[in-house]
Amino acid sequence: MQALRALPDAETLAASVSDRDRSAVAKALNLLDDKRPEARHRAAHLLAALPKQRLYSSGHLVGLTGPPGVGKSSLTAALVRVWRERGLSVGILAVDPSSPISGGALLGDRLRMLSGALDASVFIRSLACRGEFGGLSAEVWPMSLVMLAAFDIVLVETVGVGQKEIDVSKLTDTTCFVAQPASGDSIQFLKAGIMEIPHVLVVNKADVGIAARKTLAELRASLQPPAHAEDWEVPALAASATVGTGIEELVDSIEAHRTWLVTRGLLAPVRQGFQAEWIIKRLLEEFGRFGLEQLGGRSRLLSDLLEAQGPPFEQYDALRHRLLARWHEQN
């Protein structure tokens, strides 16, 4: 209770987050991580008080995923430098499978090594993954919303080798998969349709030479041409996070995908869709399939949620109460 009393009220915190106050962002993220009922109540108010336009119609949520050691953190640091040069602020959520402390520290070190990359407009938060969302912690969605209210770019770094990427692509506007030179795994996953096709593919460590070029050629060959001219054509690039080649092109490709979404009016619906999926996933975890059926079934719920478009915790709690009331009536 002590810690909660020390917090400013949800509206004040939301206003400070929107003013890009870093310590407010840190406090807001702590609040979302707090499982106590009073904290959850405040977190719901906080999310409801954030400017809707920022959460659903602006900024860019970028996912960076790939196998362990492929260079995601190094690439993050290189990307941050370019974004900063372009005047954009960046919030980073690093979902670390092992240790939230060492993961964040490592990323911080990488960023510090790139002189000038780590300034007041770059914010890093490390999250331990708790086995949900195929490696993504349940808080990633609400935390992304808080970060979107405060930063131009929100980058989510997650480790994934195959199927796990599917879940990242359900939480970020643009998913970027980082492939390892001379590793056939990702190509096999793509070909077999096990891996959700990312929006941007990049072979890192291009400085190793021939092996990277070969992998890039194989990846390009394994990408299906789009069925419709209107579909997004997935770019496959080579980059070197350590040498710094291909980074501007990577930033341009990531930006091009956002432009593609915006010109088709897809940014808001895509994010509302992530939120609806996040709510359904939580309901499924708490009440199982039977619970979902009682609420009208998955597809009905999905369309109801997309239509209603409220803040995430409010929508979730309303459904939860509806279900509990129903069960109470029946027994």
The residue ranges that bind Mg ion (CB under 5 A) are: 72-73
User: b/e per residue, 51-90, with b = 16+ CB within 10 A?
Assistant: eeebbbeebbbbbbbbbeebbbbbbbbbbbbbbbeeebbb
Between 240 and 275, whose beta carbon lies closer to ligand GTP?
Answer: 240
- 3-state secondary structure string across 187-244: HHHHHHCCCCCCCEEEECCHHHCHHHHHHHHHHHHHCCCCCCCCCCCCCEEECECCCC
CA dist., res. 305 & res. 320, Å (int):
13
For the CB of residue 71, give the shortest distance to ligand GTP in the complex, in Å: 3
The correct pick among 49, 146, 241, 270 for binding ligand GTP (CB under 6 A) is: 241
User: Which of ligand GTP, Mg ion, none does residue 33 bind (CB under 5 to 8 Å by kind)?
Assistant: none
207 binds ligand GTP (CB under 6 A): yes
158 binds ligand GTP (CB under 6 A): no
Which span sits near ligand GTP by CB under 6 A: 84-92, 130-138, 187-195, 203-211?
A: 203-211
Between 80 and 323, whose beta carbon lies closer to Mg ion?
Answer: 80
CA dist., res. 205 & res. 299, Å (int):
42
180 binds ligand GTP (CB under 6 A): no
State CA 40 to chain mean position distance: 21
For the CB of residue 207, give the shortest distance to ligand GTP in the complex, in Å: 5
User: Which of Mg ion, ligand GTP, none does residue 242 bind (CB under 5 to 8 Å by kind)?
Assistant: ligand GTP
Between 16 and 73, whose beta carbon lies closer to ligand GTP?
Answer: 73
The correct pick among 242, 272, 294, 309 for binding ligand GTP (CB under 6 A) is: 242
Q: For the chain, what's the residue count? A: 331
For the CB of residue 167, give the shortest distance to ligand GTP in the complex, in Å: 16
User: Which of ligand GTP, Mg ion, none does residue 204 bind (CB under 5 to 8 Å by kind)?
Assistant: ligand GTP
For the CB of residue 94, give the shortest distance to Mg ion in the complex, in Å: 7
Which parts of 59-98 interact with ligand GTP (CB under 6 A)?
68-74
For the CB of residue 181, give the shortest distance to ligand GTP in the complex, in Å: 9
For the CB of residue 159, give the shortest distance to ligand GTP in the complex, in Å: 5
Q: Please write down the long-range contacts of 269-276, taking CB distance under 8 Å and 24 or more positions apart.
A: 269/306, 270/173, 271/55, 271/56, 271/61, 271/173, 272/56, 272/305, 272/306, 272/309, 273/306, 274/141, 274/170, 274/171, 275/141, 275/305, 275/312, 275/315, 276/301, 276/302, 276/305, 276/306
Between 79 and 145, whose beta carbon lies closer to ligand GTP?
Answer: 79
Please identify the residue of the shown chain whose CB is closest to the bound ligand GTP: 71
User: Which of Mg ion, ligand GTP, none does residue 255 bind (CB under 5 to 8 Å by kind)?
Assistant: none
**C-alpha distance across the termini of the chain, in Å:** 35
State CA 10 to chain mean position distance: 23
Catalog residues that contact ligand GTP under the rule CB under 6 A.
68-74, 159, 204-205, 207-208, 240-242
